[in-house]
Amino acid sequence: MKRFTYAIAACAFMIGCTGTVVSPETVSIIPEPSSVEMTEGAFRLTEKTQANFLYEAPELEYVASALEDITEAVFGQGVKMNLSSLDASHGINFILDENIPSEGYKLEVAAETIDIASSTAAGAFYALQTLRQLMTAEAFTAGDVKAVEIPAVRIEDAPLLGYRGTMLDVGRYFFPVEDVKCVLDIMAMHKMNTFHWHLTDDQGWRIEIDKYPKLTEVGSMRKRTIIGKDPNGEYDENTPFDNVPHGGFYTKEQIREVVEYAAERFITVIPEIEFPGHAVAALASYPWLSCTGEQYEVRQSWDIDDRVFCPGKETTFEFMEGVLAEVVEMFPSEYIHIGGDECPTKFWQKCPHCAKRMKEEGLKTYRQLQGYGIDRIEKFLEAHGRHMIGWDEILEAGVTPNSIVMSWRGTEGGIKAAKQGNRAIMAPSTYCYLDYYQSEDRENEPLAWGGHLPLEKVYSFNPFEGLSESEKDYILGVQGNLWTEYIPEIKQAQYMLLPRLAALCEVAWTSDRGGYDDFIERLPALEALYDAAGYQHRAR
């Protein structure tokens, strides 16, 4: 791989009173491209620059609006779009090159032209994310910018992994649509392409379902929330609560708005509807979903809860199918996440419905009962043309060849899946849990779930470790998870994501990484872009 100078030396100077010219001198890009070669000269980007689209593709309109957004932020108005031009002698040219891998691009900045070649619109979009970094934060903060002199460079780039994910837990704390869009913007900046939306949990049901209106009428609101650590782990009168109701949910229209906003950024949204555990909010809405039928409250504290869906009753499956039928209508994603993690069997062991089901189906263990439930859900999804993703617990009761395993308790689940021919996504808590503390100096960090995941550890992740060449093919990608037990609002979410998402995006994107020291040298330029966008991030 070509090495290049990373130190960022953007300089802006005034030319009389006619506006600022920003002239970055070096390039610094995250995730690191496959190759970067600096050449002579610079392209002068101004509000008069023309963008020429030399081929047609439906998603090019997303590319055009991304370019418009970037240039508008600098000049106050976007560059001129020329959708049918064949004049490629000046300006930014979008070129079709079918030899370039999907999502990859070639970006060549020269004195008169910026050529962006790709085989997909997504590739062109990622080229623009790189271009934004070539322009430097200076372009976005200098004000009254007349021109940005982008250094001449030749970049070839393509991602290592096809699934580059970020999960946001909106079950613990609800994040309004604007905040979700902010997370999507951050993802796009890092060339991440899959948003895993954790929509249901014990503490809140966040997605409108017409057939079951109480899910949001009842299940989206809790009375109060634990706000500190429970001193004795018993959730009793010593537990600190805020005594403020917390709630919120997305209407179907808002869900569609988010899916569309993501698509415009080449991000697929995968919804997660938790089954059979993490279900208290659903059970509080419809008590007949549990083994006992008792009326519960939406949960107000964290950790694993014994109260889960009853897989003995047929009505539980009717419910799940009713919910998922609406979910697949709202989300065009190939995959639907069904949870499957952390499901105690305490209530199943005393439940006559569960006993009957086990007898009828010849199930010997409660894990097999869980497997029976997951299997039925998977069949339903497959009948609707979707594949199921589950947390690695789904391996315990056996999976079908189509199931995709999301490995979170270390990489073992992902490795086991790959070895038996199941596709897997690596999201081990040891490298990918962005809710963990960023430093050991907890006193000086916001209260977090626990754990310790410094930037360097994220960067050190090798998603293929322990796998043979042929097994590697089963690893779809990697994902960072932002669980929000102690993250009540978006600024704190940004702080937890950044800059760790930068390290993770390089793990996912770059085939031949230059190493942590090299990454750290490139990071200040990206951090300056975070500042320009107003994102909170952890100072180093």
| Residues belonging to the active site | 201, 278, 342
Q: Does 531 bind ligand TNX (CB under 6 A)?
A: no
CA distance 260 to 195: 12
Bridge partner residues of 247 (DSSP): 221
Q: Binding of ligand TNX at residue 174 (CB under 6 A)?
A: no
Unique residue bearing structure tokens 């690893």: 475
Binding residues for ligand TNX, rule CB under 6 A, total 9
Q: Is residue 507 exposed (0-12), middle (13-18) or buried (19+ Cβ within 10 Å)? A: buried
Q: What is the bridge-based pairing of β-strands 113-118 and 105-109?
A: antiparallel
Q: Would you count residue 342 as binding ligand TNX (CB under 6 A)?
A: yes
* Residue (433 or 459) nearer to ligand TNX, CB: 433
> Is the Cβ of residue 257 or residue 341 nearer to ligand TNX in the bound state?
341
Minimum separation from the CB atom of position 480 to ligand TNX (A): 12
Q: Which segments of 351-411 does DSSP mark as H helices, in order?
A: 352-361, 366-383
Closer residue to ligand TNX, CB minimum distance, 108 or 393: 393
Report the alpha-carbon angle 165-266-510, nearest 5.
55
Question: Are the CB atoms for 211 and 321 separated by under 8 Å?
Answer: no
Nearest to 255 by CA among 196, 177, 188, 184: 177
Question: Considering only CA atoms, which of 361, 432, 350 is closest in space to residue 391?
Answer: 432
Tokens 């916001």 sit at which residue? 446
Asked whether position 433 contacts ligand TNX by CB under 6 A, the answer is yes
Cα of first residue to Cα of last residue in the chain, in angstroms, is 27
| C-alpha triplet 108, 114, 118: angle, nearest 5° | 65
**Shortest spacing between CB 339 and ligand TNX, in angstroms:** 7
Per-residue contact flags (x/-) with ligand TNX for residues 376 to 395, judged by CB under 6 A: ---------------x----
Least separation, in Å, of the C-beta of 196 and ligand TNX? Answer: 11
With respect to ligand TNX, which residue has the nearer C-beta, 266 or 437? 437
Dist CA 517 CA 401 (whole Å):
40
6 or 449: CB nearest ligand TNX:
449
Q: How far is the CB of 377 from ligand TNX (least distance, A)?
A: 16
274 part of the interface to ligand TNX, by CB under 6 A: no
Site map (CB under 6 A) of ligand TNX, residues 23-52, x = contact:
------------------------------
CA nearest to 466, candidates 415, 410, 408: 415
The reply to whether 408 sits near ligand TNX by the rule CB under 6 A is: yes
Give the H or E element holding residue 413: helix 412-419
Q: Which two tokens stand for residue 275?
A: 């089954």
Nearer to ligand TNX, 114 or 406 (CB): 406
Closer residue to ligand TNX (CB): 4 or 175: 175
Torsion of CA 271, 274, 278, 283, to 10 degrees: 110
Nearer CB in complex with ligand TNX: 200/268: 200
Q: Tell me how far, at minimum, the Cβ of 485 lies from ligand TNX, in Å.
A: 6
Q: Facing residues of 51 across strands?
A: 81, 92
Of 111, 30, 43, 108, nearest to 79 by C-alpha is: 43
- In the list 341, 396, 445, 521, the residue contacting ligand TNX (rule: CB under 6 A) is 341
- Least distance in angstroms from the C-beta of 422 to ligand TNX: 17
DSSP-derived 3-state class of residue 63:
helix
Burial class (CB in 10 A: 0-12, 13-18, 19+), 58: exposed
Instruction: Judge contact between 275 and 343, C-beta under 8 A.
Output: no
The interface with ligand TNX within residues 479-508 (CB under 6 A) comprises: 483, 485
Phi, psi of 346 (to 5 degrees): -50, -50
Q: Please, what is the minimum distance in Å from the beta carbon of residue 50 to ligand TNX?
A: 48
Give the residue, chosen from 4, 126, 174, 449, that forms a contact with ligand TNX under the rule CB under 6 A.
Answer: 449
For the CB of residue 282, give the shortest distance to ligand TNX in the complex, in Å: 15
Q: Examine residue 272 and tell whether it contacts ligand TNX (CB under 6 A).
A: no
Residue ranges binding ligand TNX (CB under 6 A): 341-342, 391, 408, 433, 435, 449, 483, 485
